[in-house]
Amino acid sequence: MYEKDKGVMIALEYIGPANFQWSDNDVEIADIIYKALNNGPVATKSPLSISSHLSLGNAKGAVSSSEVIPLLESFFDIVTVRYFGSPLYNLVINKVMDSLDINDPKNAAILKLIIQTEQVMVKKGILENNYALIIERKRSG
């Protein structure tokens, strides 16, 4: 989003590993969650499988995290950066949304638990943030 009159831009950017190259740790945690979902009392629209989603790990075109913010800094003054969302967003949360019946209270609670667990793992340094909300301001002069 760019507000021309005020010279402010808000960007939601993927800043994780280039081409979604998840670590073994990321995949292992996601796999544990998938197995728990498949064996637990959740209403799914289709069976959940981590292997069916790992093909995203070969995605091309995702810019390297080391390039995103410096590139924006070359055109704008960075006002603030807020980091969020770990590899679990790509590997689990975004995927199970299609498979889980989120109108089922149990599934809604499980999804909330996954998101809260992700936040704790990021805070403890087990997982890294893969997304950033970046607010930039047009350079004066």
Taking only the tens place, the pLDDT of each residue in 108-134 is 888 889 889 999 999 999 999 988 899
Identify the three-state secondary structure at position 4: coil
Classify residue 47 by burial, with Cβ atoms within 10 Å: 0-12, 13-18, 19+.
exposed
Q: What percent of the chain has pLDDT over 70?
A: 76
Domain count, the chain: 1
- pLDDT at residue 79 in the model: 92
The pLDDT, as a whole number, for residue 57 is: 43
Which segments in the chain show pLDDT lower than 50?
52-53, 55-59
Q: Which residue do the tokens 């950017």 mark?
A: 13
Domain enclosing residue 54, as ranges: 2-138
